[in-house]
Chain A
């Protein structure tokens, strides 16, 4: 097998918070706490989890929009975290981000065409006229009219704004696109349009995606491999089809169980709400397995030791003592 396009090893980010009392040791929020994954060229990795699981932080660490506490990120053989500032700026062409809220990710005072052309301007590509032509072309690539160039973001609907966000990311011909909840803010009928567009573009441009979402049904549709995060760690990673058919980690099981099914009588609310309690605070994560406070199968050992992420069968890893040595 060829070298993966993106390799992440031991990535961690610990935010030091302000002390709440005088002389108190500043609390540390372990947003991302040592995660590893690979993404093959042309594939899509899904990062799934609830709020506070560290999925958006992971995206920003991979892009080095925030500096990690430790870890390694390699894109196409280049170590991103040890690149100089200038080298990093050049590297930004290779990896782009698409945001959850398309409207606020566009400068409200800048015509959308200029916003798209900006990416090219940052990297001194072509003349102004060429850049604007390219921006017009990319408006068409994402299914909008090239005449929209001069309009301001507020003149567009959410779905159109997300198309513009995608055009802005694509105009630099990146290898890797990180999609941070790209359809969560959109209406149901528009959501499918954008997902179809993303799938088409991936085939057309040979893109590699990291797709971040809290919505398993969306991730299942677009991702070849899915990683489930809980409190800054990967608890299960497997090929999507496999993961959904037979989830191994109790958290993955609960997550899938909680999704309502659009078919009356198929799943009652009491069947959905099996999992009790809230996600614990990442400032004071539980000792042992972070999930033990909500886990229906928690054992004494889970309260003491942290289960390592181990391979189960082929191409699947689970961090749970129930599946240790399986």
Chain B
């Protein structure tokens, strides 16, 4: 039969690499998502290389206070303390990206465990786990940060832990409902009737099919968490002066918003564009992780 177009070439590379490559091919078809990914990689590189790239020390005044962009040789101008906005933006990116990505990823891993366990254990354990999560659901995230900051000190760790805890109920719920759906798919029943053991079915049939939508959701959350982390920074829970994430920078510029709008504007633009980029990447991932999109 010659009805299905032949994919050709016998396999020389491991299966997971082939899958990975196929996903990238699908992803690159989404121009917007692909551009967003390149943009994020650039932002990340610049942040990582901050010590090399930043033209000035972010904590020392190098120009006139609030001097506008382009003056004193400062491309984005200086802030209220005469510090270089560009250099602070580059250093701040480290903190903001970290806040967006690390606690969200950690929350995803924890939620995978919680959600799958809840969906897989009996009615009682499921009820207990979900009701406890509901309690956390009801907790406003700012209050959570206040509590964490009360135990620890304000700082990067506080914001990260607050975000981590706050996200678990959201992602766990998605994991649980997805697991419940996948659990009832005929291919799971097929594996069971062929004699598959519980953990074999979990690791080879359930988790691979649950994880894709969770990754997509988590990616879109990362952008939102940068905004949230910035908000917590803005409220003073985050890193302490003179260090600053983008949210703190917006806050610092707030008092001089009328006479020197650039101090708030540039970190604001950074927050919005990075958050949007994560959202676009999520869209692309949705297709890239769908096996039906491959090989077409």
Question: CA–CA, A104 to B193, complex, Å?
Answer: 15
Q: Is the CB of A93 within 8 A of B195?
A: yes
Which residues from 111 to 133 on chain B have a C-beta closer than 8 Å to any C-beta of chain A? none
Which residues from 73 to 106 on chain A have a C-beta closer than 8 Å to any C-beta of chain B? 89-90, 92-93, 96-97, 99, 101, 104-106
Which residues from 167 to 197 on chain B have a C-beta closer than 8 Å to any C-beta of chain A? 185-187, 189-197
- B17 within 8 Å of A (CB atoms): no
- A156 within 8 Å of B (CB atoms): yes
Residue of B186, B196, B200, B295 near A99 (CB, 8 A) is B186
Which residues from 156 to 198 on chain A have a C-beta closer than 8 Å to any C-beta of chain B? 156-157, 160, 165, 168, 172
- B208 within 8 Å of A (CB atoms): yes
Residues of B within 8 A of A123 (CB): 195
Question: CA–CA, A27 to B11, complex, Å?
Answer: 55
Residue of B4, B209, B292 near A107 (CB, 8 A) is B209
B-contact 0/1 string along A96-127, CB 8 Å cutoff: 11010100111111110000001101110000
- A155 within 8 Å of B (CB atoms): yes
Q: A147-B6, A156-B4 are in contact. Are A107 and B194 (CB under 8 A)?
A: no
Residue of A101, A110, A145, A155 near B1 (CB, 8 A) is A145
Residues of A within 8 A of B266 (CB): none
A172 to B, closest residue via Cβ: B194
Residue of A90, A101, A147, A168 near B194 (CB, 8 A) is A168
Q: Is the CB of B197 within 8 A of A152?
A: no
Min Cβ gap B183→A in Å is 13
B185 to A, closest residue via Cβ: A104
Question: CA–CA, A154 to B7, complex, Å?
Answer: 13
Q: Is the CB of A118 within 8 A of B3?
A: no
Q: Is the CB of B186 within 8 A of A104?
A: yes
Question: CA–CA, A155 to B189, complex, Å?
Answer: 22
Question: CA–CA, A99 to B186, complex, Å?
Answer: 8
B8 to A, closest residue via Cβ: A147
Min Cβ gap B213→A in Å is 13
- A63 within 8 Å of B (CB atoms): yes
Residues of A within 8 A of B185 (CB): 104
Q: State the total of A-B contacts with C-beta under 8 angstroms.
A: 88
Question: CA–CA, A92 to B191, complex, Å?
Answer: 11
Q: Is the CB of B187 within 8 A of A106?
A: yes
B188 to A, closest residue via Cβ: A107
Residues of B in contact with A, size category: 20 to 34
- A326 within 8 Å of B (CB atoms): no
- B15 within 8 Å of A (CB atoms): yes
Q: Is the CB of B187 within 8 A of A105?
A: yes
Residues of A within 8 A of B137 (CB): none
Residues of A within 8 A of B291 (CB): 108-109, 152, 154
- A151 within 8 Å of B (CB atoms): yes
Residues of B within 8 A of A165 (CB): 190
Q: Is the CB of B193 within 8 A of A122?
A: no
Question: CA–CA, A150 to B11, complex, Å?
Answer: 9
Q: Is the CB of A151 within 8 A of B7?
A: yes
Question: CA–CA, A110 to B189, complex, Å?
Answer: 15
Question: CA–CA, A92 to B193, complex, Å?
Answer: 6
- A144 within 8 Å of B (CB atoms): yes
- A262 within 8 Å of B (CB atoms): no
- A65 within 8 Å of B (CB atoms): yes
Min Cβ gap B186→A in Å is 4
Which residues from 243 to 279 on chain B have a C-beta closer than 8 Å to any C-beta of chain A? none
Question: CA–CA, A280 to B204, complex, Å?
Answer: 41
Residue of A90, A119, A150, A160 near B7 (CB, 8 A) is A150
- B205 within 8 Å of A (CB atoms): yes
- B65 within 8 Å of A (CB atoms): no
A-contact 0/1 string along B279-296, CB 8 Å cutoff: 000000000000110110
Residues of B within 8 A of A122 (CB): 191, 194-197, 200
Question: CA–CA, A125 to B209, complex, Å?
Answer: 26
B189 to A, closest residue via Cβ: A65
Residue of B1, B7, B189, B204 near A118 (CB, 8 A) is B204
For A111, A122, A145, A148, which residue has the most chain B Cβ atoms within 10 angstroms? A122
Residues of A within 8 A of B204 (CB): 107, 110, 118
B290 to A, closest residue via Cβ: A108
Residues of A within 8 A of B15 (CB): 111, 150
Min Cβ gap A296→B in Å is 38
Min Cβ gap A157→B in Å is 7
Residue of A99, A144, A154, A157 near B292 (CB, 8 A) is A154
B196 to A, closest residue via Cβ: A122
Question: CA–CA, A122 to B6, complex, Å?
Answer: 30
Which 4 residue pairs of A and B lie closest in terms of their CB atoms, listed nearest first?
A92-B195, A105-B186, A119-B194, A154-B292
Chain A to chain B contacts (Cβ below 8 Å), 14 pairs: A65-B192, A90-B195, A96-B194, A97-B189, A97-B193, A105-B189, A107-B187, A107-B208, A108-B291, A119-B194, A119-B195, A151-B4, A154-B292, A172-B195
> Which B residues have a C-beta under 8 Å from some C-beta of A?
1, 3-4, 6-7, 11, 15, 185-187, 189-197, 200, 204-205, 208-209, 291-292, 294-295
- Known A90-B195, A99-B186, A107-B204; further 4 A-B contacts with Cβ < 8 A: A63-B193, A92-B194, A122-B194, A151-B295
> Which A residues have a C-beta under 8 Å from some C-beta of B?
63, 65, 89-90, 92-93, 96-97, 99, 101, 104-111, 118-119, 121-123, 144-145, 147-148, 150-152, 154-157, 160, 165, 168, 172
